[in-house]
A and B are shown apart, each in its own frame.
Chain A
Amino acid sequence: MRKNFKLNTLTILLLTCHSLINAQERSLERSLLEIDVQRAGENTDTEKLTSECLKLIQEFNSPEEMGKIYTEIAVIYSQNGMKDPDKTVEYCEKALKYPIDLETACQMYVFWGDALQFKYWNLRGEEFTFARQQILQSCLKGLKIIWDNKIPKERQRLTAVNIIDFDGPLNDPFYKELLEKHKQEIEVRKKIDLQNKLIQHRDALIEKCAFLYSNTSNDLIELRQLSERILQNSNAVDELIDSVKVKIKQIKE
C-alpha cells in the first residue's frame, strides 16, 4: 500500500512537471507572438523588439527555446526592408545553431541569402564573385535540407480535416474510431502543409541561385562545384543546375 502511494505520488509529480513544461512552452510561444505582432515592416522598432526577445532568454534557455527566440529576431530583421542585413545574418546564423524545425531552418537560409544578396548587390567583378559564393552557400545549405527530405516536385493538393459532432459517451468505441480517423486526417494535412512550405522555400532558393547568374555569361561551373560539395548528391546537383537554367531563361524572357 505504501509502495502504491509512493508510485501514485511519483506519477502525480511527473504529470505536474509535464504540464508545467507544457505551460512554459505555451508561454514562450505566446510571448514571442506578442512580440511578433508588433512588427511593422520598415517601421518596426527593431532594437526594442530584439531586446524584448533577448530578455526571454533569462527565462527560456533550453536549446529549443533559444532556437525559437533567435528565429523570431531573425524574422524581425528580415522583414524590416533590409535596413540591417548584418543583423539578419547574425540571427539567422544563431538560430541555425540550435535545434529548430525543418521548415524554420529552411526559412532561415532564405532570409540569410536575402541579407547577403542585399549587402553585396552593388559589388562587381571579383568582389561580386566572392560575395556570390557566400550567398550560394546559404542557398545550398537550405536546399540540402529540402533535398534530403525528398519532397515532391509540385505543390500538393490540400486535404480536409473534417468536423465531428457525436452526442454519445466519450468512451463509445465508435467515437474512438472517429477520433482516430480525425487524428490521421490532421497528420496528413500537416504533412502536406509542410511539403508545400518546403516547396515554396526551394523555389525561392533556386530563384536566388538563378538571379546570381542571370546577369553574367558564367556557365554555372562555379555553381556545380559548390553544390557538389554542399549537396553531396549528384542527382540533386543535376536537378538544381537544370532548374537554375530554366529559371535564368525565364528571367531573361
Chain B
Amino acid sequence: MTKSKTVVSIIVMAFNCLMVELGMAQEIHYSPKDSLQKEPSSRSPVKKRVSLFPRESGMVAAEVNIFIFKVKSETVATTPSDRSRTQIGIGEEVTCSIIPASIPASLTANWSENTGNGKVSPAMGTSTTFTASQSPSTSRVRVRVGGVECTLNFTVIAPNGILYSPDNADSPDYPRIPGPPNLFIGNGRYFPVTIQPTTVSFCNVEFRENKPGNNITWPDGTNDNGVSAGQPPFRVLQNNGGVSDHISGPLRPYNRLYNGSNYVTFTFAINVPLEYKNNLGAWTEFMSGIRNNHARFYTATGACALRAVGNNIQNSAYRGPWQN
C-alpha cells in the first residue's frame, strides 16, 4: 500500500484517569484504494493502524495510524516515597514523560507550564523536568503531541513548620571539665530538625533563620544585647531533614547568676523566625519567632539545659557547671 504525502493529526480524545492522563493522536494517510479493507490492529496496545477504503469508486480512502499515549509524572526526589504525587513543594522538580517514548516521526511533543510560574526543560521531547515556582501556586503542565493536548496539574505548597528531634550530639566545645570548682556555666547540643510538611520535598528551597537578636540582662546586671542576631542560611535533604540546629552558648562566669545576695535560676529565649526565599527572591516568613524559639534554662547551681520550640518541644539534659 502506498502511503500518501499528506499526514494530518487530529484530536480523537483526551481524558483524565486519576493521576494519569491519556491522550490519543491520529495520523490519517490518504490512499487511492477503492475497496474496503481493514488491517488488524498492531500488537502494541498503544499503537493502532486502521485502514478504511470506500466501497464506491471516486472516493478517497484513508489509512489511519492512531498513536495512543499517556503522560506520567515522577518526582525527582525519591523521598517521600509516593513519587507520583501531584502535591509538591515549592521549587520541587518532577519528571513528566510520554509513554511510550517512541512517538511517530511525524509527531512532536512540546511542553509548557501555563499557570504557576514554573519552568519546563527541555521544552521539546518525550520527557521534561518541570521545576515548580519558589512560591505556592497551582501549576498546569501541558504537553502537546500532534494535535492532542494533555495536562498534569500540580499543587505547589510552601513550608509551614519545623519539627525538632531529641538532641543527639554535643557541640564541639562541650562538655567541659565538670566542677567543683563551679566557675563557668553553659551548654551546647545539636537538635536534628525536619521542615514540615513531609508529604512533599523542600530540598530545592533556600531557608534561613532571621534572628533579630535578643537583649538579655543577667541576674548580676550584665547586659548582652543583640544576642544571636544573624541570618544563617540552611538547606535540607530530600526528606526535609538531615539538618541539625546547633544551639549553644559560650562559657560564661557562674557569677552571672548571682543577683547580689544569691545565685538564682535564670531563663532567656532567642526568637528564631524561619523564612524561605520566594520566586521574587524575597525572604518570606513561615514560622514567627514566637512559634519558633530556642530557650536556655539555668539552675541556681549553674546547670544549663537547652530547649527547642517549634511544632513540638525538645529539651536537652541539664549540664554544668564547669571548671573550665
- B281 cross-chain contacts in A, Cβ below 8 A: 29-30, 33
Known: A41-B112, A42-B112, A167-B270. A160 touches B236 (CB 8 A): yes
Known: A75-B119, A215-B105. A81 touches B142 (CB 8 A): yes
Query: How distant is the Cα of A79 from the Cα of B112 in the complex, in angstroms?
Result: 6
User: Of residues 214 to 259 in B, which have CB atoms within 8 Å of A's CB atoms?
Assistant: 216, 224, 227-228, 230, 232-238, 242-250
Asked whether, in the complex, the Cβ of A37 is within 8 Å of the Cβ of B280, the reply is yes
Asked whether, in the complex, the Cβ of B114 is within 8 Å of the Cβ of A167, the reply is no
Asked whether, in the complex, the Cβ of B243 is within 8 Å of the Cβ of A174, the reply is no
Shortest Cβ distance from B115 into chain A, in angstroms?
7
Q: Is A148 interfacial (CB 8 A cutoff)?
A: no
Query: How distant is the Cα of A239 from the Cα of B104 in the complex, in angstroms?
Result: 27
Asked whether, in the complex, the Cβ of B246 is within 8 Å of the Cβ of A163, the reply is yes
Shortest Cβ distance from B124 into chain A, in angstroms?
4
Query: How distant is the Cα of A36 from the Cα of B292 in the complex, in angstroms?
Result: 32
Q: Is A130 interfacial (CB 8 A cutoff)?
A: no
Q: Is B126 interfacial (CB 8 A cutoff)?
A: yes
User: Of residues 272 to 315 in B, which have CB atoms within 8 Å of A's CB atoms?
Assistant: 272, 279-281, 294, 296
Asked whether, in the complex, the Cβ of A200 is within 8 Å of the Cβ of B129, the reply is yes
Q: Which residue of B lies closest to A157 (CB)?
A: B237
Query: How distant is the Cα of A174 from the Cα of B188 in the complex, in angstroms?
Result: 12
Asked whether, in the complex, the Cβ of A118 is within 8 Å of the Cβ of B110, the reply is yes
Q: Which residue of A lies closest to B296 (CB)?
A: A167
Q: Which of A41, A80, A164 has the most CB of B within 10 A?
A: A41
Q: Which residue of A lies closest to B141 (CB)?
A: A41
Asked whether, in the complex, the Cβ of A78 is within 8 Å of the Cβ of B228, the reply is no
Q: Is A91 interfacial (CB 8 A cutoff)?
A: no
Asked whether, in the complex, the Cβ of A167 is within 8 Å of the Cβ of B108, the reply is no
Shortest Cβ distance from A53 into chain B, in angstroms?
16
- How many chain B residues touch A (CB < 8 A): the figure is 61
Contact with B along A93-134 (1 / 0, CB 8 A): 000000000000001001101100110011000000000000
User: Of residues 17 to 64 in A, which have CB atoms within 8 Å of B's CB atoms?
Assistant: 29-30, 33-34, 36-37, 39-43
Contact with A along B22-35 (1 / 0, CB 8 A): 00000000000000
Q: Which of A36, A42, A165, A200 has the most CB of B within 10 A?
A: A165
Q: Which residue of A lies closest to B101 (CB)?
A: A251
Q: Which residue of B lies closest to A75 (CB)?
A: B119
Query: How distant is the Cα of A252 from the Cα of B101 in the complex, in angstroms?
Result: 7
Query: How distant is the Cα of A79 from the Cα of B104 in the complex, in angstroms?
Result: 24
Asked whether, in the complex, the Cβ of B114 is within 8 Å of the Cβ of A40, the reply is yes
Q: Is B173 interfacial (CB 8 A cutoff)?
A: yes
Asked whether, in the complex, the Cβ of A160 is within 8 Å of the Cβ of B117, the reply is no
Contact with B along A135-166 (1 / 0, CB 8 A): 00000000000000000000000111111111
Q: Which of B102, B140, B203, B234 has a CB less than 8 Å from the CB of A252?
A: B102
Q: Is A250 interfacial (CB 8 A cutoff)?
A: yes
- B242 cross-chain contacts in A, Cβ below 8 A: 158, 160
Shortest Cβ distance from B52 into chain A, in angstroms?
24
Q: Which of A122, A165, A215 has a CB less than 8 Å from the CB of B272?
A: A165
Asked whether, in the complex, the Cβ of A117 is within 8 Å of the Cβ of B124, the reply is yes
Q: Which of A159, A168, A207 has a CB less than 8 Å from the CB of B127?
A: A207
Q: Which residue of B lies closest to A182 (CB)?
A: B232
Q: Is A219 interfacial (CB 8 A cutoff)?
A: no
Q: Which residue of A lies closest to B211 (CB)?
A: A165
Query: How distant is the Cα of A18 from the Cα of B304 in the complex, in angstroms?
Result: 44
Query: How distant is the Cα of A118 from the Cα of B110 in the complex, in angstroms?
Result: 8
Query: How distant is the Cα of A178 from the Cα of B172 in the complex, in angstroms?
Result: 9
Asked whether, in the complex, the Cβ of B142 is within 8 Å of the Cβ of A42, the reply is yes
- B190 cross-chain contacts in A, Cβ below 8 A: 162
Q: Is A189 interfacial (CB 8 A cutoff)?
A: yes
Shortest Cβ distance from B116 into chain A, in angstroms?
9
Q: Which residue of B lies closest to A106 (CB)?
A: B121
Q: Is A186 interfacial (CB 8 A cutoff)?
A: yes
Q: Which of B108, B230, B279 has a CB less than 8 Å from the CB of A121?
A: B108
- A37 cross-chain contacts in B, Cβ below 8 A: 117, 135, 279-280
Q: Is B148 interfacial (CB 8 A cutoff)?
A: no
Asked whether, in the complex, the Cβ of A81 is within 8 Å of the Cβ of B232, the reply is no
Q: Which of A117, A172, A252 has a CB less than 8 Å from the CB of B250?
A: A172
Q: Is B2 interfacial (CB 8 A cutoff)?
A: no
Q: Is B120 interfacial (CB 8 A cutoff)?
A: yes
Given A33-B279, A114-B110, A169-B250, 10 new contacts (CB under 8 A): A41-B112, A41-B114, A42-B112, A161-B235, A163-B193, A165-B245, A167-B249, A174-B173, A204-B125, A215-B105
6 pairs of A and B residues whose beta carbons are closest in the complex: A41-B114, A168-B250, A215-B105, A81-B112, A41-B112, A161-B235
Interfacial residues, chain B to chain A (CB-CB below 8 A): 101-102, 104-106, 108, 110, 112-115, 117, 119-127, 129, 135, 140, 142, 144, 172-173, 190, 193, 203, 209, 211, 216, 224, 227-228, 230, 232-238, 242-250, 270, 272, 279-281, 294, 296
Interfacial residues, chain A to chain B (CB-CB below 8 A): 29-30, 33-34, 36-37, 39-43, 75, 78-82, 107, 110-111, 113-114, 117-118, 121-122, 158-169, 172, 174-175, 177-178, 182, 186, 189, 200-201, 204, 207-208, 211, 214-215, 250-253
Task: Give 27 pairs: A residue, B residue, CB < 8 Å, sorted on A.
Answer: A37-B279, A41-B115, A42-B142, A80-B112, A81-B112, A82-B110, A107-B121, A122-B108, A160-B237, A161-B234, A162-B244, A163-B234, A163-B244, A164-B232, A165-B209, A165-B246, A165-B247, A165-B270, A166-B250, A174-B172, A178-B246, A182-B232, A201-B121, A204-B122, A204-B129, A208-B124, A214-B102
